[in-house]
């Protein structure tokens, strides 16, 4: 294979990996917002069925998400009971995000320029704060949704 062809193939591979990574992040964040069914994920992400299935398998294999079924205590709509949904593993989400933050601190430690090292550490701390704030907002939002759904169920 010619070097030009090899460079093109390498660039295409990098683009494909970057796109896959973006799709994984998109799916993960959608599920982190709220548990979703396969069909809801298809609509939300606008991915094809095979691509979505592949990425869901990857996220499950990495133990970041899991399949669950909607229980009678979780919905006021009897048609939703037993529906399969994907959920984020809360404890794994924090671990995953904390590893990302730790990686930023590690990179900063490898830098010899003290000014740059300090800026990178400050940046990593800001990222950590933003991520923790986001996690807390997600949890609060989920609790509100669960309480509202529980009230609907109790009224029936």
SS3 46: coil
Q: Give the residue with greater pLDDT, 73 vs 2.
A: 73
Residue 108 in this model has a pLDDT that exceeds 70: no
* Residue 9's pLDDT band (cuts 50, 70, 90): low
The residues spanned by each domain of the chain are 1-88, 90-156
Distance from C-alpha of 137 to C-alpha of 134, rounded to nearest angstrom: 5
State mean pLDDT over 105-116. 69
3-state secondary structure at position 67: strand
Q: What is the 3-state secondary structure (H, E, C) of 81-138?
A: CCCEEEEECHHHHHHHHHHHHHHHHHHHHHCCCHHHHHHHHHHHHHHHHHHHHHHHHH
pLDDT band at 39 (very low <50, low <70, confident <90, very high): very high
pLDDT band at 53, cuts 50/70/90? very high
Q: Measure the CA angle with vertex 139, ends 133 and 141; round to 5°.
A: 100
Element (H, E) at 28: helix 3-33
| CATH classification code of 1-88 | 1.10.10.10
């Amino acid at each position: 294979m010619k070097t030009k062809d090899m460079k093109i193939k390498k660039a295409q591979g990098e683009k494909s990996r970057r796109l896959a990574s973006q799709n994984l992040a998109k799916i993960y964040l959608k599920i982190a917002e709220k548990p979703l069914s396969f069909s809801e994920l298809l609509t939300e992400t606008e991915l094809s069925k095979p691509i979505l299935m592949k990425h869901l398998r990857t996220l499950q294999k990495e133990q970041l998400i899991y399949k669950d079924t909607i229980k009678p205590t979780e919905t006021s709509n009897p048609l939703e009971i037993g529906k399969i949904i994907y959920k984020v593993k809360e404890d794994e989400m924090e671990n995953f995000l904390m590893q990302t933050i730790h990686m930023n601190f590690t990179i900063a430690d490898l830098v010899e320029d003290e000014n740059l090292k300090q800026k990178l550490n400050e940046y990593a701390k800001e990222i950590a704060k933003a991520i923790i704030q986001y996690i807390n907002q997600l949890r609060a939002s989920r609790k509100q949704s669960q309480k509202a759904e529980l009230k609907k169920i109790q009224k029936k």
